[in-house]
Amino acid sequence: MENFQFNNPTDIRFGKGHIEPELHDAVAQFGNNVLFVYGGHSIKKSGLYDQVKNLLKDLNIVELGGVAANPKIESVREGQKLAKDNNVDVILAVGGGSVIDASKVISSAKFYDGDPWDLVVNENGADSHKIDEVPIVDILTLSATGTEMNRNAVISNMEINEKIGTTVPNTPAVSFLDPSLTETVPARQTAAGSIDIMSHLTEQYFDCAENNDVSKGLIEGIMQAVIKWAPIAIKDPTNYDARANLMWASTMALNSIVNVSNINEWTVHPLEHELSAYYDITHGIGLGILTPRWMNKVIEDKTTLPLFARLARNVWHLSGDDDLELAKAAIQKTSDWNKSLGAEMTLPEVGIKDETNFEAMAKSAVKEGSLDTDAYIKLTVEDAVEIYRASL
Which residues in this chain contact ligand NZQ in the complex, by CB under 6 A? 39-43, 69-70, 95-99, 101, 141-142, 144-147, 150, 152-154, 181-182, 184-185, 189, 193, 196, 254, 269, 283
Give dist(CA 288, CA 344) in Å, integer: 8
Minimum separation from the CB atom of position 144 to Zn ion (A): 7
35, 59 contact by CB (below 8 A): no
Minimum distance from residue 269 beta carbon to ligand NZQ (Å): 6
- CB closer to ligand NZQ, 153 vs 299: 153
Quote the CA–CA distance of 323 and 320 in Å, as a whole number.
Answer: 8
For residue 132, the minimal CB distance to ligand NZQ (Å) is 20
DSSP state of 354: S
The continuous run of DSSP H or E covering 38 comes out as strand 33-38
Nearer to Zn ion by C-beta: 196 or 207?
196
237 binds, among Zn ion, ligand NZQ, none (CB under 5 to 8 A by kind): none
Is beta strand 33-38 parallel, antiparallel or unpaired with respect to 90-95?
A: parallel
Task: Determine how many CB atoms are found less than 10 A away from the CB of residue 241.
Answer: 12
What does 147 interact with, of Zn ion, ligand NZQ, none (CB < 5 to 8 A by kind)?
Answer: ligand NZQ
Residue 142 or residue 244: which is nearer to ligand NZQ going by CB? 142
| Gyration radius (Cα) of the chain, Å | 20
Task: Name the residue nearer to Zn ion (CB basis): 103 or 276.
Answer: 276
Minimum CB distance to ligand NZQ smaller for 148 or for 323: 148
CB 371 within 8 A of CB 267: yes
Instruction: Specify the length of the chain in residues.
Output: 392
Give the residue among 248, 270, 246, 267 at the shortest CA–CA distance from 192: 246
Spatial distance between the Cα atoms of 268 and 262, rounded to a whole number of angstroms: 16
| Binding site partner of 367, from ligand NZQ, Zn ion, none, Cβ cut-off 5-8 A by kind | none
Closest by alpha carbon to 191, among 203, 180, 182? 182
* Min CB(145)–Zn ion separation in Å: 6
Q: How far is the CB of 316 from Zn ion (least distance, A)?
A: 21
Q: Which does 264 bind (CB under 5 to 8 A by kind): Zn ion, ligand NZQ, none?
A: none
| Cβ at position 165, least distance to Zn ion in Å | 9
Name the binder of 107 from ligand NZQ, Zn ion, none, CB < 5-8 A by kind. Answer: none
Cβ distance 179 to 247 under 8 Å? yes
Q: Which is nearer to ligand NZQ, 153 or 315 (CB)?
A: 153
- Give the interface with Zn ion as residue ranges (CB under 5 A): 196
Q: How far is the CB of 196 from Zn ion (least distance, A)?
A: 4
| Residue placing its CB nearer to ligand NZQ in the complex, 260 or 326 | 260
Q: Is the Cβ–Cβ distance between 71 and 99 less than 8 Å? A: yes
Nearest-approach distance from CB 294 to ligand NZQ, in angstroms: 15
166 contact choice in Zn ion, ligand NZQ, none (CB below 5 to 8 Å, kind-dependent): none
Task: From the list ligand NZQ, Zn ion, none, pick the one residue 329 interacts with, judged by a Cβ distance below 5 to 8 Å according to partner type.
Answer: none
State which residue, 152 or 245, has the beta carbon closest to ligand NZQ.
152
181 binds, among ligand NZQ, Zn ion, none (CB under 5 to 8 A by kind): ligand NZQ
Reported as half-sphere exposure (CB side, CA atoms, 13 A), residue 276 has a value of 26
CB of 268 closer than 8 Å to CB of 199: yes
Q: Where are the alpha helices (DSSP H) in 236-356?
A: 240-253, 268-279, 283-298, 305-314, 323-340
